[in-house]
Amino acid sequence: MEQTKKSYFQKIILIIVGIALFLLPFAITNPYIMYIINLILIYALLALGLDLIVGYTGQVSVGHGAFFGIGAYTAAIVAKKVGLSFWLTLPFSIVITAAIGFIIGFIGLKLIEEYLVMATLAFGTIIWLVFLNWTDLTGGPMGIAGIPAPPTIKLGGFEFPFLQYHDYYPLLLIFVYLGILITRLLIRSGFGRACTAIRDDELAAQAMGIPVFKTKVTMFTISATFCGAAGALYAHFLHVVSPETFTFSMSVTILTMVMIGGQGSIAGAIIGASILTISSEALRETPELRMLIYGFLIVIMIMFFPKGIMGLIQIIKRRFLQKNILIEKSSVEKEGLGYE
């Protein structure tokens, strides 16, 4: 009964937070702050996608910046050269990125962990070189500019155009909500439990009859799909894509978001995306220093806080509860009532 009340209370809190987030643009007048918040939502979707394989399957990828770029460039090319609207470029980007993610996962996941990292690093470098040198298709170093905004949404007598940063916020927030929902459904399903079993002990999972390779490839493909959606949103939000955005540093940034926020945690992915997006903007003028700081943070987290911020919060919460139990036990003993 108590557990039911707790669950009910948590749902009410989530609903209130959700409504508050939708109303957030009405409280913000500074367009730059709104721009940062929109970027946080896009990077949150990326972090959720990467965490599916890092936090729930136990695989490490440093090539997700490439999947992000594939989604963005696919949307840009289809929008500019074919003339399709955002509502068609988005699914197109998702399908293309998922297909490439399946191929890379099918090849790379046959390797052990260290070599998988090297394979995804090589993949990310190759994709970046394609963006940089295939001038006829990608625009080369200049990238692709003038990507159209999503068309105006008409609901009854109301129109919702995409003219300012505030206009993009509800759309991006909806996609983050969808990402959270899909993640929750995945990790609570039999498939998600199979992934966590592989993460904890791959040999034991295989002995239990779990199709390890098939499960890992499926989750890797879903992870790439998140990046494809984030890439399409990014392209139509900023109206420009260029190779400098999708370098190796982008993959490191996404991985750092997951590591800092906490692996295997939805809240951790969002917290990590928020912290890293804000710090990236603060260190925009010194990209070399930014990469140095990110590398240092990853090392610190692995050594001292392997579960990230959310893991640290859980430790503090557990110690606080244990302290309360000891205090209650001491109080009962003092009253001479005994304690079993």
pLDDT tens-place string over residues 86-141 = 999 999 999 999 999 999 999 988 877 778 888 999 999 999 999 999 999 999 99
pLDDT recorded at residue 4:
60
Given a cut of 60, whether residue 228 has pLDDT beyond it is yes
Task: Name the pTM for this structure.
Answer: 0.88
> Any bridge partners for residue 153, and if so which?
160
Residue 225 pLDDT > 60, yes or no? yes
Instruction: Find all residues with CB under 8 Å of 21, minimum gap 6, and list them.
Output: 173
pLDDT digits (tens, 9 = 90+) for 269-303: 999 999 999 888 877 777 667 777 777 777 777 77
* Residue-wise burial string across 187-221, b where 16 or more C-beta atoms lie within 10 A, e elsewhere: beeeebebbebbbeebeebeeeebebeebbbbbbb
Mean pLDDT of the chain: 86
Asked if residue 7 has pLDDT above 70, the reply is: no
**Does the structure show a pLDDT above 50 at 339?**
no
For 154, phi then psi, to 5°, come to -115, 120
Confidence of residue 184 (pLDDT cuts 50, 70, 90): very high
Who wins on pLDDT, 1 or 138? 138
The mean pLDDT value for 76-90 works out to 92
- pLDDT category at 160 given cuts 50, 70, 90 is confident
Choose the weakest-confidence range: 17-21, 67-71, 130-134, 159-163: 17-21
Which one is predicted more confidently, 237 or 279? 237
Whether the pLDDT of residue 336 is over 60: the answer is no
| Cβ pair 260, 309 in contact under 8 A | yes
Q: Which two tokens stand for residue 30?
A: 């500074």
328 or 237: which leads in pLDDT: 237
Q: Above 60 in pLDDT, residue 79?
A: yes
Of the pLDDT bands very low, low, confident and very high (cuts 50, 70, 90), residue 182 is very high
Q: What is the mean pLDDT of residues 18-30?
A: 78
Q: Is the pLDDT of residue 317 over 80?
A: no
Cα separations in angstroms, 39 against 49, 119, 142, 270, 273 = 15, 28, 22, 12, 9
Sorting pLDDT into bands at 50, 70 and 90, what band is 5? low
Sorting pLDDT into bands at 50, 70 and 90, what band is 49? very high
The answer on pLDDT for 313 being more than 50 is yes
Q: State the pLDDT confidence band at 305, using cuts at 50, 70 and 90.
A: confident
Spatial distance between the Cα atoms of 124 and 107, rounded to a whole number of angstroms: 14
The pLDDT value recorded for residue 340 is: 45
Whether pLDDT at 39 is above 70: yes
